[in-house]
Amino acid sequence: MSISLFLDGAAGTTGLLIEDLLRRHHPEFEILHLSEDDRKDLAAKRALLAEAECAVLCLPDAAAMESAALADELGVRVLDASSAHRVSDGWAYGLPELDRGAQRHRISGAWRVANPGCYATGALLLLNPLSRAGLLRRNAHVPIFGISGYSGGGRAMLQRFERAGETLRTGSYTHDHEHKHVREIVRHSPLGRKPQFVPSVGAFERGMSVTITLGREALTDETDAVAVLKQYEQSYADEQFVQVRTAQPDDPNGLLMVDDVVGTNNAAVYCFDDGTDLTLVCHLDNLGKGASLAAIQNLNIMFGYPEGLGIDDQH
């Protein structure tokens, strides 16, 4: 028997993709959502929520908090794809690969799950295995640079870039390091110091690269690329959607492209050593592992389905 799923906010980029993929590729969920006329009608939302076994919230933060409270009142499980609850007590953080299975167990039994941010996903996949293994000093200076496709900015940014065509290039933002994903990284990693994070948006629709350069002073003695890659391989050996890449890029110009993860729920992690610093790189799709496909993975965990159901054929 299918699970009734109330999709609240199906008009945004994340919600649209979740609905499309579930309808086309997932046999176990029945999608419920409000009509355009009823989107802001609280009584209509309450009535539809009361029919659902789970609500997926793809809303601005303030609206997500309101819908989460209503779902809680009605006894409905929630997966929140906004950033409203990612550092909140009482919410399971929806990154199953966070800590070798323990987080997956938390998600499976949780009533409320917060889907992680895209940049935070990349940073945590790179940092947490090193912190757990004692390879990264707790108070290390951690500079993070990220670049995302413009779809990460939602419908407004999509429209801006698509109207402008090739006249818009790459631009960085939040230079005060107060990007909302920083608090996620701090909350869900063992770091003892807030990382320095500068995100950028590129003139391409989908895909993301997160890069962290660590000086030797940030690392414990004898930590090199071999030790880092070994730790990654141990941490992600049983993970379906995280691949450890050890080879240099095949591109003749040495370009490390994100193309092969676009349209998938995969994340690829790399480590390079120039003899002085280590460079860690994670590639993912900002709308895939960074949003909609991660949400479907979490729904599968919450309801006991195989994690790849509705995901495996998305390339």
Amino acid at 278: L
pLDDT at 250: 67
Counting beta carbons within 10 angstroms of the beta carbon of residue 230, is it exposed (0 to 12), middle (13 to 18) or buried (19 or more)? middle
pLDDT, tens digit (0-9, with 9 covering 90-100), for 219-276: 998 899 999 999 999 999 999 999 999 876 666 777 788 999 999 999 999 999 988 8
Active site amino acids = 118
CA dist 194 and 183 (Å) reads: 8
Per DSSP, 253 falls in state T
pLDDT, tens digit (0-9, with 9 covering 90-100), for 268-304: 999 999 888 999 999 999 999 999 999 999 999 999 9
Token pair in block for residue 295: 């949400």
Task: Tell me the mean pLDDT in the region 156-160.
Answer: 54
CA dist 304 and 170 (Å) reads: 41
CA dist 165 and 188 (Å) reads: 38
Contact in structure between 96 and 107 (CB atoms under 8 Å): yes
Which regions of 242-299 does DSSP assign to beta strands (E)?
A: 242-244, 267-273, 278-284
Task: Tell me the mean pLDDT in the region 183-198.
Answer: 92
CA dist 277 and 17 (Å) reads: 39
- Give the CA angle between residues 305, 308, 313 to the nearest 5°: 135
pLDDT at 315: 47
Nearest Cα to Cα of residue 294 among 241, 254, 255: 241
CA dist 171 and 147 (Å) reads: 9
Per DSSP, 118 falls in state H
pLDDT, tens digit (0-9, with 9 covering 90-100), for 8-65: 998 888 999 999 999 999 999 999 988 888 888 889 999 999 999 999 999 999 999 9
SS3 213: strand
**Domains (range + CATH), the chain:** 3-116+290-302 (3.40.50.720), 118-286 (3.30.360.10)
Amino acid at 72: D
| Biggest distance spanned by C-alpha atoms of the chain | 62
**Where is average pLDDT lowest: 146-150, 176-180, 275-279?**
176-180
- Run of H or E residues at 61: helix 61-74
Contact in structure between 122 and 196 (CB atoms under 8 Å): no
What sign for the dihedral angle of Cα 276, 130, 295, 185?
Answer: negative
